[in-house]
Amino acid sequence: MSASSSEIVVEDRKDTTAVQVMYLLHGLAPFTMWTLAVVAIVIGFVKDDDYRGSYLGTHVSWLARTFWWGLLWIAIAGLVTFILVISILGLIVAWVPFTALFIWYLYRVIRGWLCLNDHKPAPF
C-alpha cells in the first residue's frame, strides 16, 4: 500500500522546515559572531542520516561546506589582519577580508535557500 500524496507533502514539509531553520541560523550567524552557525552545524550532523540520498541531504552538505570553508577563511583573514595591522596600510585595509567573507557567506546561504524553496538540490 502506498502513502497518499498528502502524507508525502506533509513529511516533505516537515523535513524542509528543519532545513529552513538551519538556513535561518546560518543567515543570522554573521550577526551573532557565528554561534548560530555552530548550532546549525550540530543540527545538520544530527539530521544527516535522515537526509542522506535526498535533495535535502545536498542542502545539509552545502551548509556544512559553507561553514567549514568560512571558518578557514575567518582564520586566514584574522592572520592577514593581524599582520597588516602592524603597518599603517593594515589599518586601512584590515576590514576588506572580513567584508568579502561576509558577502560570500551570505551569498551561499541565500543561493542555497532559494534552491531549497524551489525544492531543488543545493548547487555544487
Task: Name the DSSP letter for residue 121.
Answer: P
Which tops the pLDDT comparison, 6 or 19?
19
Nearest to 118 by CA among 56, 64, 36: 56
Cα angle 18-22-25, degrees, rounded to a multiple of 5 = 135
Distance CA 52, CA 7 (A): 20
Pair 30, 40: CB distance under 8 Å: no
Compute the average pLDDT of residues 98-119: 95
Cell 539530521, residue located: 47
- Cβ within 8 Å of residue 109, ≥6 positions away: 23, 26, 27, 63, 66
Amino acid sitting at position 48: D
pLDDT at 55: 92
User: How confident is residue 12, by pLDDT bands cut at 50, 70 and 90?
Assistant: low
**Of the candidate ranges 36-45, 51-60, 62-71, 75-84, the one whose mean pLDDT is the lowest:** 75-84
Position with higher pLDDT, 12 vs 35: 35
Q: Tell me what percent of the residues of the chain surpass a pLDDT of 70.
A: 89
